[in-house]
Amino acid sequence: MSDEATAGWIDPEIAAEFPELRLWSLRLEATPGRSGPGLRERLRGLSSRFHGAHAIKLRTDPIPHAYRVFFRHIGIDPDTDRTPVEAAALDRLVQGGFRSRGRIEDALLIAVAETGVPAWALDDATLEGELGIRPATDGEQLGRAELADDLRPGRLVVADERSPVAELFGDPAPGHAVTSATTALRVYTVQPAGVPTIHVEEALWLVTEALEQG
């Protein structure tokens, strides 16, 4: 793993059940905004590769399959709540192509489309300490915003040292998402059993490289 990426902590009970589970995070200086011509051209190139036959075959490929298996192990039905790469492929088919949504969103999309490994971006300024994975406790809320939703106890979450910042494989919690005021990101990815570290490294590198391309 790149020296710039940090291995997150895993709750001991979760680590005992899933000994190969890892969370990796990377801090990047970046601001949101419209993607430049280079990123938009890369999305057009990816769109040409994600056709119907590719989307059908996708779930049997080793990395998407590893995420599907892990989804089932933690109580998520991947046929209802699709894995990130399958969700991206479906969006491409429905929309007729990958649409640019901004430089940060596009960088994350490029990473998952190229590698099958999903990544998420949080506003680094909203976080306290390192990220990790743990179960939600009774009475916890998702994020620290005023209208944060209650969490089901036992639901696996990504948390900093203070509170949950996202459900595992979910969108950033209110108060932790990237906004127009963001100046630095905490990009993280989740590595279950069956996903080689080299692909996780590539996903984080692609996010970094795409943001530099802008």
- 126: domain CATH number? 3.50.40
1 lies in a domain?
no
Tell me what pLDDT residue 149 has. Answer: 83
Task: State pLDDT tens for residues 149-180.
Answer: 888 899 999 999 999 999 999 999 989 999 99
Task: State pLDDT tens for residues 30-52.
Answer: 999 999 999 999 999 888 877 66
186 lies in a domain?
yes
Contact 113, 195 (CB under 8 A): no
204 lies in a domain?
yes
**Domains in the chain, number:** 1
Tell me what pLDDT residue 3 has. Answer: 57
Task: Assess whether pLDDT exceeds 60 at residue 2.
Answer: no
Task: State pLDDT tens for residues 200-210.
Answer: 999 999 999 99
The boundaries of the domain holding residue 53 are: 6-213
Task: Assess whether pLDDT exceeds 90 at residue 92.
Answer: no
